[in-house]
Amino acid sequence: MRKPEGAPGMRDRAQPTRAGSPGEIIEMELAERGWSQRDLAEIMGRPPQAISEIIRGVKQITPETSLELAQAFGTSAEIWMNMETTYRLQLARRRSGDGESDIATRSRLYGMLPIADLIRRGWLRATSVADDLERDTRHLLGGDPETMIAAISLRHSIARGPERGAQVAWVSRVRQLAHIQEVPPFSRETLTRAIPTIRQLASAPEQVAEVPSLLQSFGVRFIIVPQLPRTYIDGVLCDADSAPIIGLTLRYDRIDAFWFTLMHELAHLVLGHRTLHLDNLDDKEQRRDAQEMEANQQARSWLIDQCALDAWVARTKPSFSRQQIEHFAATQQIHPGILLGQLMVDETVGYRHLRGLLSKVSPYLEDWSDPDRH
């Protein structure tokens, strides 16, 4: 059909005359021209049913259809594509109700915490409901995520780029699991006197299994929670003023790393260091902190007589055989792997030297590990 002369059309307007669905605008244009849906179908070479579905909104306007409508009505294709996009977006908003709020909530939580990692660990439930996700996150952290992350003062270096939110989540998980444990009231004086008793368990890997219960008997809760990605944590001491908790990651599953980290956290406690201590014992910047240096020195002296060690190293260097290390460790009543670890840290021997002495401890601590550690 031919459009009557002088009939108005979309070519005479920059925009459609009113907001609405693309189908409504098409019907309006047809009415202005005196066309039927069948007329438009013949012009565009489409089945009448296809035009009917476009007008009713059943079929979406594709880029190809927008070009055909533009040619039929003498407009630009962009008008039809923009109209379709706007219309579909409005429908989506109406269907989703609070969808924009849900997205904003999830975006905020994902921006603060490694939510995907926490769900994989089982620390949070997998849910598509933003309110449930936020509720679970509050339960894990013990309060509003943003407030808790800002409130917890973590002593650590950012040299390796740890994620603060992940660190706070890890500490929160440690607290969550440790608070279940029932322990007697804590006494710093009693613990200080008990350090030699704890130290006696350092002579064999299997004896680490006795450490958690012994700590509990002195009012110290103990738990192992593997580190989250990009957090670089060895251990933590928290709630030192009331019901102290020691949490370890065992990121280095070796007898030397276990005992030094444990003694380091106990040193913080015995020395009265009150700030929450989140320790990365590889961090050279952290080692220069006054309290960290004090805790390191105390842990070393508890494990090995440093004067005897210096004298032995002077007599033995530059070569340290397995037999020599085992003999001196026996005089100190410690596992030789603990001595080897200290020699490695002091750079007296290389990190590849006699690594068979660095026994694993995780098999003896499974009962004290996060059940959702995988």
Span between the terminal Cα atoms of the chain, in Å? 70
Q: Quick: pLDDT tens for 65-109.
A: 999 999 999 999 998 998 888 888 877 766 666 445 788 889 989
Pairing of strands 277-279, 221-224: unpaired
Q: Quick: pLDDT tens for 196-225.
A: 999 999 999 999 999 999 999 999 999 999
What are residue 221's phi and psi, to 5 degrees?
-80, 150
Domain ranges of the chain: 10-96, 99-151, 168-304+362-368, 306-357
Task: Determine the residue type at 155.
Answer: R
**Rounded CA gap, 184 and 76, in Å?**
79
**Rounded CA gap, 343 and 340, in Å?**
5
- Angle among Cα 220, 225, 230 to the nearest 5 degrees reads 130
**Rounded CA gap, 350 and 302, in Å?**
23
Give me the pLDDT at residue 151, please: 64
Alpha helices in the chain (DSSP H): 22-33, 37-44, 48-56, 63-73, 77-96, 99-112, 115-121, 130-141, 145-151, 164-178, 188-199, 211-217, 255-270, 284-287, 290-303, 306-316, 322-332, 336-345
Tokens at residue 27, please?
A: 């019907």
- The pTM is what? 0.74
**Rounded CA gap, 137 and 155, in Å?**
23
Given a contact cutoff of 8 angstroms between Cβ atoms, the answer to whether 87 and 21 are in contact is yes
Given a contact cutoff of 8 angstroms between Cβ atoms, the answer to whether 263 and 302 are in contact is yes
Q: Quick: pLDDT tens for 150-165.
A: 666 555 544 444 588 9
Pairing of strands 221-224, 235-238: unpaired
Q: Quick: pLDDT tens for 281-306.
A: 887 777 678 889 999 999 999 999 99
Tokens at residue 237, please?
A: 């001491």
**Rounded CA gap, 318 and 84, in Å?**
79
CATH code reported for the domain at 10-96: 1.10.260.40
Contact residues for 371 (Cβ-Cβ < 8 A; gap 6+): none
Nearest to 137 by CA among 176, 100, 180: 176
**Rounded CA gap, 232 and 159, in Å?**
11
CA distance to 32, 38, 259, per residue, from 7 (Å):
7, 19, 90
Tokens at residue 328, please?
A: 């001196």
Give me the pLDDT at residue 159, please: 42
Give long-range contacts, CB 8 A cutoff, 24+ apart: 151-155.
152/276, 153/275, 153/276, 154/276, 154/278, 155/275, 155/276, 155/277, 155/278, 155/279, 155/286, 155/289, 155/291, 155/292
Band of pLDDT at residue 336, cut at 50, 70 and 90 = very high
The DSSP symbol for 300 reads H
Torsion sign (Cα): 281, 368, 200, 216: positive
Task: Pick 254 or 4 by higher pLDDT.
Answer: 254
